[in-house]
Amino acid sequence: MAADIDVTLQGGRTTHVLFVDTIRELSSRLSDYGQRVLWVFDVNSARLFTSLPENNVILPSGEKFKSWSSIEKILSAALDAHLGRDSLFIGFGGGVVCDMTAFAASVFMRGCGLVLVPTTLLCMVDASIGGKSAIDFHGGKNLVGTFYPARDVLISPSCLRTLPESEYMSGLGEVIKHAFLSSAHDLYDFLVDNRKDVLSRDRQALSTMLSLSLQVKASYIERDPEERKGIRQALNLGHTFAHALESIEDFRVKHGTAVAWGLSRAMHCGQDAGVTDSALVEAADSLLTMYGYDIARRIERGRWLDFQSAVAKDKKNISGRVRFVLLEDWGRPVLKDLPAQLVQRNVIAPATVR
């Protein structure tokens, strides 16, 4: 089992990432949190319990429910349970559940305790550490939120063995992104050398992969806890393209799958802009193809304006300008403005560009 990880954030607050081997051990750890707890599930994660804890709220599943109304349900459930600032919210599920639980915890009584139990690969490597909480707003992804790190994050690779294939591959897209954000090639080499075990979800391979991926993310988070220095924005590599794709497809494309596509688009745009070396582009496309991602996908010309509008809503929009995360080299991200024509050339089907 991977070693536990401590992530130090703003004001010295620490998130303890605890790896647990089995579901039984996970249940034992969770029972230690006592009774003044509100459990937040979605309809999928609630099925993992044969008997649900007393104070709970079960939300619908899916990105479209990442909204104010869901936050109100969580807060109302906490009030109905007569919980106070000394209580604890436990988010149990995927990224949507954990994001909303964190947001609700950050505003309930001006902030109560928070524990996250991510049950999807995407949430484990992307949404569980770093303190970001958010809901979608007016068609923009994660536009309203706070920074509110969890006290503990409990990760059990065993949860991944029954995850639907599409959800698992969605999370793997974020893992592959992390491989290029490190100047060390440990994660990249692991993914290349252990493809069969990663895809078959071997328990030891999952444990090693999760640890390596989280270490990369933690290295950025600790240097820039609230995205004030531009360092942490590197974790959005590929996300400007991904969020726009998700938006124009009404979120029918899984987030991590969109990130995998966006990573390839960012690499190619970086190459066109004279920022990214061709060898790095080839390494990214090779790894993404090795794991079966459709990096050849393009947007129809008739949807370019919708895509462009979605890009303009990106959170990296500063003073009306969107700065894209590109790579100068392994682990050397840079924020750059890109001409619309260059972006269009790399996301629109070649035969339709005039």
What confidence tens digit (pLDDT) does each residue in 161-178 have?
A: 889 999 999 999 999 999
Write down which residue in 125, 140, 163 finishes a domain: 163
Together in a domain, 122 and 235: no
Q: Is residue 186 part of a domain?
A: no
- What pLDDT score was predicted for residue 350? 75
Write down which residue in 104, 134, 163 finishes a domain: 163
Q: Is residue 312 part of a domain?
A: yes
DSSP state of 302: G
Together in a domain, 255 and 139: no
What confidence tens digit (pLDDT) does each residue in 20-39 have?
A: 988 788 888 888 898 899 99
Q: What is the pTM of this model?
A: 0.90
Together in a domain, 248 and 304: yes
Write down which residue in 139, 163, 187 finishes a domain: 163
Q: Are 151 and 115 in contact (CB under 8 A)?
A: yes
Spatial distance between the Cα atoms of 261 and 244, rounded to a whole number of angstroms: 11
Residues in contact with 160: Cβ distance below 8 Å, sequence separation at least 6, in sequence order: 120, 121, 124, 168, 201, 206
The region of weakest confidence among 90-94, 108-112, 131-135, 232-236 is: 131-135
Together in a domain, 128 and 236: no
Q: Is residue 302 part of a domain?
A: yes
Q: What is the CATH number of the domain that holds 257?
A: 1.20.1090.10
Together in a domain, 11 and 147: yes
Q: Are 91 and 78 in contact (CB under 8 A)?
A: no
Together in a domain, 214 and 316: yes
What confidence tens digit (pLDDT) does each residue in 215-225 have?
A: 999 999 999 88
Together in a domain, 146 and 219: no
Compute the average pLDDT of residues 245-273. 95
352 vs 256, residue with greater confidence: 256
Q: Is residue 292 part of a domain?
A: yes
Together in a domain, 277 and 152: no
Q: Is residue 173 part of a domain?
A: no
The count of structural domains within the chain is 2
Q: Is residue 191 part of a domain?
A: no
Which residues constitute the domain of residue 21?
A: 5-163
Together in a domain, 147 and 28: yes
Spatial distance between the Cα atoms of 213 and 333, rounded to a whole number of angstroms: 17
Q: Is residue 324 part of a domain?
A: yes
Spatial distance between the Cα atoms of 222 and 7, rounded to a whole number of angstroms: 7
Together in a domain, 109 and 17: yes
Q: What is the CATH number of the domain that holds 30?
A: 3.40.50.1970
Together in a domain, 70 and 139: yes
C-alpha neighbours within 13 Å on the C-beta side of residue 20: 20
Q: Is residue 88 part of a domain?
A: yes
Provide the pLDDT confidence category of residue 352 given band limits of 50, 70 and 90: very low
Write out the DSSP string of 60-90: PPSGGG-SHHHHHHHHHHHHHTT--TT-EEE
Together in a domain, 138 and 223: no
The region of weakest confidence among 142-151, 166-175, 180-189, 199-208 is: 142-151
